[in-house]
Structure 1
Amino acid sequence: MKKIKTAIIGAGFIGKAHLEAIRRLGFVDIVAIGQSSQLHADEYASSLKIPKAYGNYMDLLRDDEIEVVHNCTPNHLHFEINKQALLHGKHLLSEKPLTLTSEEAKELYELAQVKGLITGINYNYRQFPMVQQLKNMVQDNDLGEIRIIRGSYLQDWLLYNTDYNWRMEPQYGGETRAISDIGSHLFDLVQYVTDLRIVEVLADISVVHPKRYKPSKSGASFEVNSDVSVNLVDINTEDYCSVMVKFSNGARGVLTVSQVSAGKKNALEINLDGLISSGTWKQEEPFRLQMGYRDKPSETILRDPSLLKKKALPFLHYPSGHEEGWTDSLKNMMHNFYEAVVNNDAISHSVATFKEGYQIMLINDAIVRSVKTGTWEHVKSI
């Protein structure tokens, strides 16, 4: 079997995670790495055992051997690199958010349609087995009609005013921070699991630290700053946001994101309240679903191939008790993406499309308008 030849642009935290997941597939070869300079590219290629190194991503895109590109760069580079990858005929898996603005997302969505290439966005939380179980329970009406949706994505890596990251600077991270960085995952997940669309929002934000100490040398995401040379700078992007939400079926909900919640490392959680039962999934306890009922005891469904719905089984790979987590969700993501590349076929519904990435940016726009107006704002639909 001919192996797919792929390249990763950006080998930071998430780029290395892509690399590890791709290599687990067995039918994809990572043949090139792209970095911001030739020196960094050579260093990463050597340490990661990748044959080609490019200090200029345009040179990488001109390499005819490369069939697929993974864009794992900082947010402000997503649009132009994604656009050029499509123009150079490469299948493309982009990190989220798709772009910094909805106008850019619209352009990419339309370009991808014209080019007919395999494209996707790495909303990998869709790929957990118990997320698939909950989605199929919703489809089979096990919960009844969904009327209330509650969710949160909480972290603490920016808790102190000495914590700093490039995401805080709008020219690199965008007009919003917590909303676009982790909120995009939450918005995507609740819409994917319920098959409902967010149609109106009423949002409130807080900049918990209006000033932070910026180190003279930037570090990687989630890295503790130990640089003694710092400057006090103004912060204009949010540390926290709560959004009251109306969904397309009339359901209501509240979605909260925070990067300053002590003790919360990667606490993504969704709660679906239906007219028959409720279901809760937590990313930090990914192997279980908690089901609630009015007239009988609550129950826990564990990640067990003998207990789950048939459509969830392709997302499981090990027996009960051999737990699968975040890295396994990435492997599922890569498998479903590359199956479409290999077969030149429609991509799995479990992989977020550029259209869905564009819709997330429209939600982001509505949240920004709501913060400014203090009123409910309609989310434009594609």
Structure 2
Amino acid sequence: MIDTGAAIVGTGLMGRVHAEALARIGVPVVGVVGSSSDRAAASGLGAYYCSFEEMLDDPRVRSVHICSPNHLHHAQAMAAMRAGRHVVCEKPLALNPAHAHELIAAATDFGVVNAVCFVSRFYPLCRQAAQNVSSGSLGSLRLVTGSYFQDWLSKDTDTNWRLDSQLGGPLRTVGDIGSHWLDLAGFITGQRVESVMADLTTALPERSDTEDMAGILLRFDGGARGVLTLSQVSPGRKNHLAVELSGSDASLRWDSESPEQLWIGHRDEPNQLRLRDTGDYPAGHIQGYPDAFKAFFRAVYDAIDADEPPDQPDYPTFADGFEQVLLAEAIAESARLETWVSVQR
């Protein structure tokens, strides 16, 4: 296989985000695949293929970025790996645990680099927060709270393919934005969620098959407790992810709309507001969402350049995608039964 570049499957927002980030780290996009050749041609992303199969037949394609609707992820990732391509997949990895587990097994069998796009981990201050926790500066972790609010579906006239559970999956708000929060919370705390108590609500009756809002209680395996609130119907909140940790010695808080600031709270001394002082640009030169993708892809392509997955990846893999599928299953079951449900691993 010629060592050339990436192909992108999907020409919507995430396809464009991936194309921009790849260009910024010097990885060529040799072609894109859309839901139709007309759509791919109109995307403005460059050369295009008339079908997914035509893309896999191109020997220049070294890696495949899957940015298509959720229900296609499993089959497309499996086909790409069978063809010997490394795979970067948008979340969710799959719509059920069986398919997600199958993808992990295939990635191991084929020896390909595999990644899932939980990019919040790559904000410099999120990595700093994880270091604070692991160093013990917060003391014993007691409470993890937070939210992820958006408003893009707050009107009854708002529509998108994600509203169709056959395309987006049975959990919309939890799967679409809740998975990002849960992955970030796990990354920062170093703890896994062991059980959940969930309440899912649809604000607009015509969306009866997927939830608009969620309230979730969490129990972590390290002893911490958590509370998470999610909404895609909160006017004025464009993309507000916030996470706060309370430890025995200190607290910290980070949110995606102020990504250059990490609040650190103390009992007996003044609170602190730490500004980013690491990253690609000097402090005061804001690094945001596109930069997180750039950092994520840089880590993934270091592995691709080595032509094999590392023993301990420093980026989210299919295993992390599987974790979120398992959490979603437990959350859905808890909401249905109205009781605590353990995460089955």
Aligned residue for 2:328? 364
Q: In the TM superposition, what is the alpha-carbon distance from 1:345 to its structure 2 partner?
A: 4.6
CA distance in 2: counterparts of 1:86 and 1:173, whole angstroms = 22
Q: What residue in structure 2 maps to residue 166 of structure 1?
A: 161
User: Is contact 2:115-2:318 (8 Å) kept?
Assistant: yes
The whole-number CA distance in structure 2 between the counterparts of 1:287 and 1:112 is 35
Structure 1 CA distance, aligned partners of 2:193 and 2:185? 9
Quote the Cα distance in structure 1 between the aligned partners of 2:234 and 2:332.
22
* Whole-angstrom CA distance in 1 between matches of 2:203 and 2:56: 41
In structure 1, what is the equivalent of residue 30 of structure 2?
A: 31
Counterpart residue identity of residue 344, structure 1: D
Q: Does 1:249 align with 2:244?
A: no
Any stretches of 5+ residues in structure 2 without a counterpart?
A: none
The whole-number CA distance in structure 1 between the counterparts of 2:11 and 2:300 is 20
Whole-angstrom distance in 1 between the partners of 2:296 and 2:79: 23
Question: 4+ residue stretches of structure 1 with deviation over 3 A?
Answer: 345-350
SS of 2:61's equivalent in the other structure is: coil
1:15 is aligned to 2:15: yes
Q: What's the counterpart of residue 182 of structure 2?
A: 187
The residue identity in structure 1 corresponding to 2:329 is D
Tell me the distance in 1 between the aligned counterparts of 2:217 and 2:321.
21
Q: Within 1, Cα distance between the matches of 2:105 and 2:215?
A: 31
Distance in 1 of aligned mates of 2:298 and 2:214: 33
* Partner AA of 2:322 in structure 1: Y
CA drift of 1:3 comes to: 6.4
* Residue deviations 1:247-299 (CA, integer Å, cap 9, x gap): 00111011111001111110001101111100000000000100001111111
CA contact (8 A) 1:267 1:283 kept: yes
Partner of 1:196: 191
Q: 1:330 aligns with which of 282, 293, 314?
A: 293
Distance 2:68 2:208 in 1: 22
Structure 1: distance between partners of 2:186 and 2:179: 11
Q: Distance in 2 between matches of 1:179 and 1:155?
A: 12
Say whether residues 1:127 and 2:126 are aligned partners.
no
Instruction: Report if aligned partners of 1:6, 1:69 keep a CA contact under 8 Å in 2.
Output: yes
Q: Does 1:375 align with 2:335?
A: no
TM-score, normalized by length of structure 1?
0.87
SS of the equivalent of 1:172 reads: helix
Structure 2 distance, partners of 1:55, 1:272, is 48
Paired residues of 2:114 and 2:309 also in contact (CA < 8 A): no
Q: Does 1:177 align with 2:146?
A: no
Secondary structure at 2:28's aligned position in 1?
strand
What secondary structure does 1:363 align onto?
helix
For 1:349 and 1:343, locate their aligned partners in 2 and report how far apart those are by CA, in whole Å. 12
- Measured after TM superposition, the shift of residue 359 of structure 1 is 1.2
- The amino acid that maps onto 1:377 is V
Q: Deviations over 1:46-78 (max 9, x none)?
A: x33x33x21210111121111100000011111
Q: Give the aligned residue type for 2:156.
A: N
Secondary structure of the corresponding residue to residue 176 of structure 1 = coil
Match of 1:267 among 221, 240, 243: 240
The separation in 2 between residues aligned to 1:327 and 1:353, in whole angstroms, is 20
Q: Could you tell me how far apart the structure 1 residues matched to 2:265 and 2:308 are? A: 39
Name the CA distance, whole Å, in 1 between partners of 2:22 and 2:343. 35
Q: Could you tell me whether the CA contact under 8 Å between 2:111 and 2:309 is conserved in 1? A: no
Task: Indicate the residue corresponding to 1:75 in structure 2.
Answer: 70
Of 82-91 and 35-44, deviating more is 35-44
Alpha-carbon distance in structure 1 between the residues aligned to 2:69 and 2:40: 16
Cα distance in 2, alignment partners of residues 284 and 173 from structure 1: 26
Q: How far has the Cα of 1:346 moved from its partner?
A: 3.7
SS at match of 2:292: helix
The residue type paired with residue 33 of structure 2 is: G
Listed as ranges, the matches of 1:203-222 within 5 Å are 203-211=198-206
Q: Report if the CA contact (8 A) 1:168-1:235 is conserved.
A: no
Give the secondary structure class of the aligned counterpart of 1:331: helix
Q: What is the Cα deviation at residue 350 of structure 1?
A: 3.7
- Residue of structure 2 equivalent to 1:224: none
CA distance in 2, matches of 1:287, 1:18: 22
The 3 A distance-change label for structure 1 pair 345 and 89 is closer
> Is contact 1:243-1:254 (8 Å) kept?
yes
In structure 1, what is the Cα distance between the partners aligned to 2:229 and 2:108?
A: 33
- Answering whether residue 249 of structure 2 is matched by residue 276 of structure 1, we say yes
Q: TM-score, normalised by structure 2?
A: 0.97
Cα RMSD between the aligned structures?
Answer: 1.3
Structure 1 residue 343: Cα displacement:
2.0
**Partners of 1:15 and 1:178 in 2: CA distance:** 20
Alignment-mate amino acid for residue 271 of structure 1 = E
Partners of 2:25 and 2:143 lie apart in 1 by 38
How many residues align structurally? 343
Q: Please list the CA deviations of residues 322-353 of structure 1 after superposition, one character each: whole Å capped at 9, or x if unmatched.
A: 11001100100110110111123544744111
Query: Could you list the runs of 5+ residues in structure 1 that have no partner in the other structure?
Result: 212-233, 306-315
Q: What is the DSSP-based 3-state SS (H/G/I as helix, E as strand, rest coil) of the residue aligned with 2:331? A: helix
Q: CA deviation at 1:160?
A: 1.1
The answer to whether residue 260 in structure 2 is matched with residue 287 in structure 1 is yes
